[in-house]
Amino acid sequence: MLISLLIALAKILVVMALFLAATAWNTLFERRVVAPIQNRVGPNRAGPFGLLQPIADAVKLFFKEDIVTDRAEKFLYYLAPIISVSTALLFVAMVPFGPEVPSYLSTDNPAWNKFSMADLNVAVLFVFAVSSIAVYSVLLGGWAGNSKYSLLGGMRAGAQMISYEIAMGLSIMPVIMSASSLSLHEIVVAQHDVWNVFRLPWGPVGFVIFLMAMLAESNRAPFDMVEAEQELVGGYHTEYSSMKFGAFFVAEYGNLITISALIVTFYLGGWQGLPFVDVGIPAWLAPWLGIVWFAIKTMLLVASLVWIRWTFPRPRYDQLMGYGWKVFFPIALGNLFVAGVLIYLGQHFGIGYFG
Amino acid sequence: MIAYHLIYIFFGLGVLAGGVNVVAQKNPVNSAISLLFTFMCVAALYILHGSPFLAMIQIIVYAGAILILVVFTIMLLALREPGRGLGKFWTMPQKLAALIVGAALAVELAIVAVQGLGDLAAPAGASLAEIASPATLGKALFSKYLLPFEVASVLLLVAIVGAVVLTRRPHGTAAAIDAPHADETIAPPAGDEQGGQA
C-alpha cells in the first residue's frame, strides 16, 4: 500500500518536473521558430542560443506588480488561473509515455510498470472531463476582471471550446471503437499493426478533425479567438498581470505539448515505433525506446503546430463557429458511421483489415 | 480503511458545504461555482464507491455541459453590472415556496435512502470493478435498458429541435440579419448534452 503510494508519487514528481521544464522551454522554442518565419532574429541574448530566456521571463513575471482590477470578484479572479494551470497539468496524468517495462521491482501491481501516472479504464472520458473543466478558467477569467474586453474574450472562447468539444468527441469515437477500450494504453497497443491515421477511410478524416478540434479547444492560433489582439486587446487575460498572467501562459504552452501528446496517442501510434526500425532491438531496450519514439513524435507535432500558428490567418468568429457546427460536426458524424460499419464488419465477419 | 473513511467524509462534507453555499451566496456566479464544487465532490464519491465511469460522466455532463450553460446565461444576463446578486430579488413567498419544496425533497430522499439500505449488497460472483466497468455498463445499456436509452435520446433530440425552433426568427426580418450567429450561440449546450450522453 505504502510502496504503491510512493511509486505513484515518484511518477508524478518526475512527469511534472519534466513537463513543466518542457513547457518553459517550449516558449523559447516557439519564439525561436517564429523569428525566422517573420524575418527576425529572436531571443538570443540570455545564455547560448537564448537558452536561459525562459528563466529570465519567469523572474521578470514574478517581480511584476500584481494588479487586481477595481470591483473584481476577488475569489473567482484568483481561481481562474488556478483552474487553468491545474487542468493543463491534469491532462498529462493519462498520457502513456511508453509500453509496460518488464518488471524490475515486483509483479504485485501491474500499474507500477506502466509509463504513465495512471491507467484508468475511463482515461478517454477523463480527458473529456478535464477539457470541459478547462472552459471555466476562460469564462471566469474573462468575467471576474470586470472588464468588457476580457468578458467578450471569455464568452466567445467559452462558446468556441464547447462547440469544438463535440467534434473532438466524435472524432475520437472511431479510435475507441477500433481499440474496444477507453484506456489510452490499450488504444496505443491496438495500433501495433497500423497507426490509426493510416486506417482508411476513417483514419485521416478523424485525424484532421481531431487536430483542428484540439487546436480550437486549446485556443491556439489560428483559432485564438480569445486573444484576437486586434479586436479584444488581450482577451480573457487582459486584466491579469504578474504571475497570474504567467499561470495562463504556462497553461497555454503546457496545453500545446499535451494536445500534441494526445494526438500522437490517439492517431499516430503513441509509443509504437516505425515497423521496420523495430527489428533486431533487444527486449530490455524496447520499452525505453518507446519513450524515445513518443518524444520524437510529440516534438515533431509541437513543431508543426507552431508552424501552423505563424502561417495561417485567423478566421472570423462566425466563420469559426460555422466550421465547427456546419463542417466538422457533420463530417465527424458521417465518419463515425462509416467507421462503425467497417469495424463491425471487420470484427464480426473478418471483412477488411480491422479484425 | 481509516484513510478511506476520512476521505469519504471529507468529500461528503464537501457536497453539503457546496450545496449550502449555492443558496447562501449573493452573487449568482459564485453560486454556480459552488455548484461546480458540489458536482466535483459527488464525482469523487462515485470514485470512492468504485465507479470512475459514473464519476467522469458526472463531470462531463453536469459540470461540462449543464453548468456551463447556466454560467453563460448568468453572465449574459448580468452583463451590465457584474457582482449584482439575485438574492435581493427573492420575495418572501418565493422563499417560503423554496422551503416547502426543499423539505419535500429532503423527506423523499430520506425515504429512498432508508428503503435502499437493504439493496446495498453487490450481486455475488462479480467484483465491484467488473460491475462498474464501462464495458459492463455499455452492455447493459444496449441490451437490457435499450428502450429507456433510446427514449432518452429521442427526448434530447426533441429538446434540441425545440431550442432551434425557439431561436429561429422569421426570414427577412431585421433581427435575423442582425444576429447571424444567435443560433450558434444557443445551440452548443443542447448538442453538447447529446454528445455527453452518447
Identify residue A235 by its one-letter amino acid code: G
B47 touches chain A (CB under 8 A): no
Torsion-angle region of residue B82: left (phi > 0), alpha (psi -120 to 50) or beta? beta
Interface confidence, given as ipTM, is 0.83
What's the mean pLDDT in A23-51? 87
Q: Check whether A79 has a pLDDT greater than 80.
A: yes
Indicate the average pLDDT of chain B.
Answer: 77
Task: Answer whether residue A35 is part of any domain.
Answer: no
- Is residue B150 very low, low, confident or very high in pLDDT (cuts 50, 70, 90)? very high
Contacts of A164 in chain B (CB under 8 A): none
Contacts of A165 in chain B (CB under 8 A): 64, 192, 195
Number of domain units in chain A: 1
Task: Kindly report which listed range (A67-71, A131-135, A164-168, B60-64) carries the lowest average pLDDT score.
Answer: A67-71
Q: Check whether B41 has a pLDDT greater than 70.
A: yes
User: Looking at the partner chain, which of B52, B82, B188 has a beta carbon nearest the beta carbon of A162?
Assistant: B188
In this structure, the dihedral spanned by the alpha carbons of residues B108, B110, B112 and B118, taken in order and rounded to 10 degrees, is -160
Contacts of A169 in chain B (CB under 8 A): 195
Q: What is the pTM of this model?
A: 0.83
User: Across the interface, do A143 and B83 touch by the CB < 8 Å criterion?
Assistant: no
Task: Answer whether residue A27 is part of any domain.
Answer: no
Instruction: Give the residue from A209, A160, A191, A156 showing the smallest Cα distance to A338.
Output: A209
Q: Which domain holds residue A316?
A: 61-349
For chain B, report the end-to-end CA distance as a whole number of angstroms.
36
Task: Answer whether residue A226 is part of any domain.
Answer: yes
Residue A176: CB partners within 8 Å, gap ≥ 6?
Answer: A124, A182, A187
Length of chain B: 198
Is residue B7 within 8 A of residue B45, CB to CB? The reply is no
CB atoms within 10 A of CB A340: 15
What three-state secondary structure class fits A17? helix
Q: Check whether B189 has a pLDDT greater than 50.
A: no
In this structure, the dihedral spanned by the alpha carbons of residues A132, A137, A140 and A142, taken in order and rounded to 10 degrees, is -120
Task: Answer whether residue A55 is part of any domain.
Answer: no
User: Across the interface, do A129 and B65 touch by the CB < 8 Å criterion?
Assistant: no
In angstroms, the CA A263 to CA A208 distance is 10
How high is the pLDDT of residue A105?
59
In this structure, the dihedral spanned by the alpha carbons of residues A141, A147, A152 and A157, taken in order and rounded to 10 degrees, is -10
A162 touches chain B (CB under 8 A): yes
Question: What's the CA angle centered on A277, arms A275 and A280, to 5 degrees?
Answer: 105
Identify residue A57 by its one-letter amino acid code: D
Which has more pLDDT, A22 or B81?
A22
B42 touches chain A (CB under 8 A): no
Is residue A134 within 8 A of residue B160, CB to CB? The reply is no
Is residue B68 within 8 A of residue A162, CB to CB? The reply is yes
In angstroms, the CA A205 to CA A197 distance is 8
Residue with cell 465491484: B128
| DSSP letter for each residue of chain B | -HHHHHHHHHHHHHHHHHHHHHHH-SSHHHHHHHHHHHHHHHHHHHHHTT-HHHHHHHIIIIIIIIHHHHHHHHHHHT-SSTT--SGGG--HHHHHHHHHHHHHHHHHHHHHHHHHGGG-SPPTTS-HHHHHSHHHHHHHHHTTTHHHHHHHHHHHHHHHHHHHHHHPPPTTSHHHHH-TTHHHHHHHHHHHHHHHH-
Task: Answer whether residue A25 is part of any domain.
Answer: no
Contacts of B184 in chain A (CB under 8 A): 159, 163, 318, 321-322, 325
User: Across the interface, do B134 and A121 touch by the CB < 8 Å criterion?
Assistant: yes
Instruction: Give the residue from B24, A95, A113, B74 showing the smallest Cα distance to B66.
Output: B74
A61 touches chain B (CB under 8 A): no
User: Across the interface, do B82 and A71 touch by the CB < 8 Å criterion?
Assistant: yes
Distance from chain centroid for Cα A268:
14
Question: pLDDT by residue (tens digit) across A250-299?
Answer: 888 898 999 999 999 999 888 887 766 666 677 777 778 888 888 999 99
In angstroms, the CA B115 to CA A50 distance is 68
Q: Check whether B135 has a pLDDT greater than 60.
A: yes
Question: How many pairs of residues across A and B have Cβ atoms under 8 Å apart?
Answer: 104
How high is the pLDDT of residue A110?
65
What three-state secondary structure class fits A250? helix
Query: Hey, which residues 307-346 in chain A have their CB within 8 Å of chain B?
Result: 317-318, 321-322, 325, 329
Q: What is the CB-side half-sphere exposure of residue A65 using CA atoms within 13 A?
A: 4
Question: What's the CA angle centered on A60, arms A257 and A131, to 5 degrees?
Answer: 30
Question: pLDDT by residue (tens digit) across B113-134?
Answer: 888 766 655 555 556 666 777 8
Domain ranges of chain B: 1-87, 133-198
User: Across the interface, do A129 and B64 touch by the CB < 8 Å criterion?
Assistant: yes
Distances (CA, A) of B186 to A73, A161, B182, B190: 26, 14, 6, 8
Torsion-angle region of residue A145: left (phi > 0), alpha (psi -120 to 50) or beta? alpha
Indicate the average pLDDT of chain A.
Answer: 83
Alpha helices in chain A (DSSP H): 2-37, 53-63, 74-92, 123-144, 148-179, 184-189, 202-217, 229-232, 242-267, 286-309, 317-322, 329-349
Most A CBs within 10 A among B25, B30, B33, B133, hence the mutation to make, goes to: B33
Query: Hey, which residues 168-187 in chain B have their CB within 8 Å of chain A?
Result: 180-181, 184-185, 187
User: Looking at the partner chain, which of B53, B83, B191 has a beta carbon nearest the beta carbon of A122?
Assistant: B53
- Is residue B192 very low, low, confident or very high in pLDDT (cuts 50, 70, 90)? very low
In angstroms, the CA A330 to CA A162 distance is 16
In angstroms, the CA B144 to CA B141 distance is 6
User: Looking at the partner chain, which of A79, A140, A165 has a beta carbon nearest the beta carbon of B192?
Assistant: A165
How high is the pLDDT of residue A279?
65
User: Looking at the partner chain, which of B29, B36, B65 has a beta carbon nearest the beta carbon of A73?
Assistant: B29
How high is the pLDDT of residue A9?
87
- Is residue A121 very low, low, confident or very high in pLDDT (cuts 50, 70, 90)? confident
In this structure, CATH architecture of domain B1-87: Up-down Bundle (1.20)
Largest CA distance in chain A: 67
User: Across the interface, do A151 and B188 touch by the CB < 8 Å criterion?
Assistant: no
Task: Answer whether residue A245 is part of any domain.
Answer: yes
Instruction: Give the residue from A327, A338, A79 showing the smallest Cα distance to A216.
Output: A327
